[in-house]
Chains A and B, each alone.
Chain A
Amino acid sequence: MPITTVDVLTCLRKMADVIHENKEYLTDLDSAIGDADHGINMDRGFQAILKKLPSVEDKDAGTILKTSGMALVSSVGGAAGPLYGTAFMQAGMAIAGKYELEAEDLLAILDAALKGVVMRGRANLNDKTMVDAITPAVNAMREGLGNGAGTVEALEQAAAAAEKGMQDTIPMLAKKGRASYLGERSIGHQDPGATSSYLLINTMAEVARANE
């Protein structure tokens, strides 16, 4: 059963809820190794997405994601704004014109999002960033689909891989972003960007599962 634009809108709304619920948690993570605003910024960004959704409800999924990306760029600020904004915009371009998404399209979304983040922020694996959550997710999804998993299962495998990637950031030494100024003091803390990435990918899996 394909994912429709209605599901995409539902997913974005659920993402906004999840980010809102985790606003303080993300901000606390960002207090330890950042400047204490990741949750606040992401919440503002997703509220901005919610405001834009009514104007693109009848559009294709690509337009919905691109519009969401632009809303993030102009409302989040910091590093998360350009990174997530580019991620959503690139994801939107990967599925431009589509009203129904199959499994390969969801993989294309995640893959394009990751490529966008790496292009914009130039982080590598193990720099202790969102890339450390999204990369395993993309790999897991690709592998899952390759092994014959269904859409929902593959997404859940992606979410599980993102969760592990997020936890794996804990012992990492930060080499990018504000956390990198702390040097060794960044070790022992979970990266906020990897955490929000996991939350978003997990929401995709949950919405897909609920939709089955």
Chain B
Amino acid sequence: MKKLINKPEDVVTEELEGLALAYPDIVKVHFEPDFIYRADAPVKGKVALISGGGSGHEPMHGGLVGVGMLHAACPGQVFTSPTPDQMLEAAKMVNSGAGVLYIVKNYTGDVMNFEMAADMARSEGIRVLNILIDDDAAVKDSLYTAGRRGVGTTVLAEKIVGAASEKGYDLKRMADLCRKVNINGRSMGMALTSCTVPAAGKPTFDLPEDEMEIGIGIHGEPGRERMKVKTADEITEMLALAIIEDPTYSRTIRELDEEKGEWVDVALEDPPFKAGDQVLAFVNGMGGTPAIELAIIYRKLHEICEKKGLKIVRNLVGSYITSLEMQGCSITLLKMDDEMIKLWDAPVKTIGMRWGM
């Protein structure tokens, strides 16, 4: 597989160096441990919003660091969770004293690394809360799996909760907001091709020329179902209906109980979508899919939402949470209320998303 890289083991480092050079007014980069943070951090009086995950999903998360969104992002090796020391040092760098909220995508590795990081940060006197994003409707239940993966809603949460920080929300209110965004968002993705992790040198899975994978995650891992490629409209229908017709989703996740100082089980429930709901429609490219195709997907999604009585009040179309050069797309629908709409509209200035300033 041809790639525009130098040595595979230097990919993440060189990427970070490039970003720091290209956007010195937006971000700074810290190495060993690696993290990318707002050029104006720490921001006095504001809760610091931090996320992170494997590299290979750009612009998420490093490209979403800046005013109105993340205060710091911790990049792991490609498709590999970052390590606790990264999240700890990032917290120390951007904490203004108002505490830190970690947005954690629900993958086994991310969850454990961020839990260890939260424990470490707290033992150093930093107030931390972790909120999980687990919005992937492709995963049917959590009794026999590691739970729904954190995918598209993550980007939306980072924007909405980032704006809340800017508005002066305190840590608990931000955590509650983030939890609300998570339970109101659902996503589903598909792939036309696999992707190639630089260090591995070959595609993560073999997908025949005439087949597609439905229900993929974002790490090049195989999905739930493989079938012959269908038209864009048929694919959009499969993804959208899987989201719209998904019933109430109940599960238990772990959150930090600040008072008790320990991790406790929390029961969460995602309500199903219903006619009359206001939604944000997010059509996301997996990295290798051209914009022309994303617009075709959006066209059909708009029609389906209309048919189902969902009112699209905001949208996002582009490649925001990717899997290297994978061709494919994901759809996210997020039920919006007035608070979320206002926060979505608030100004933002990051490498990957910028409006209002």
Contact = CB atoms under 8 A, between A and B. Distances in A.
Interface residues of A, number: 34
B224 A77 contact: no
Given A77-B109, A176-B108, A35 B219 contact: yes
Interface string B105-130: 00111001101100000000000000
Nearest to A80: B109
Interface string B74-107: 0011111111110000000000000000000001
Interface in A67-97: 73-83
A183 B77 CA distance: 26
Contacts of B355: none
A181 B112 contact: no
A81 B81 contact: yes
B220 interface: yes
A27 B205 CA distance: 12
B83 A37 contact: no
Interface stretch (B138-146, B233-241, B305-313): B138-146
A177 interface: yes
Interface of A is mostly: helix
Contact of B113 (A36, A41, A82, A173): A82
Instruction: Report which residue of B79, B82, B139, B223 has the largest number of chain A beta carbons within 10 angstroms of its beta carbon.
Output: B79
Contact of A178 (B33, B77, B205, B221): B221
Given A74-B83, A77-B80, A78-B81, A175 B145 contact: yes
Given A181-B139, A183-B224, A77 B82 contact: yes
Contacts, number: 110
Interface residue tally of chain B, by bracket?
35 or more
A59 interface: no
A40 to B, nearest CB: 5
Contact of B109 (A40, A81, A185): A81
B239 to A, nearest CB: 16
Nearest to B139: A181
Nearest to A185: B222
Interface in B212-226: 217, 219-224
Contact of B83 (A77, A181, A185): A77
Nearest to B136: A181
Contacts of A181: 138-139, 145-146, 149, 217, 221, 223-224
A37 B9 CA distance: 13
A74 B88 CA distance: 11
Contact of A182 (B109, B112, B197, B222): B222
Contacts of B82: 77
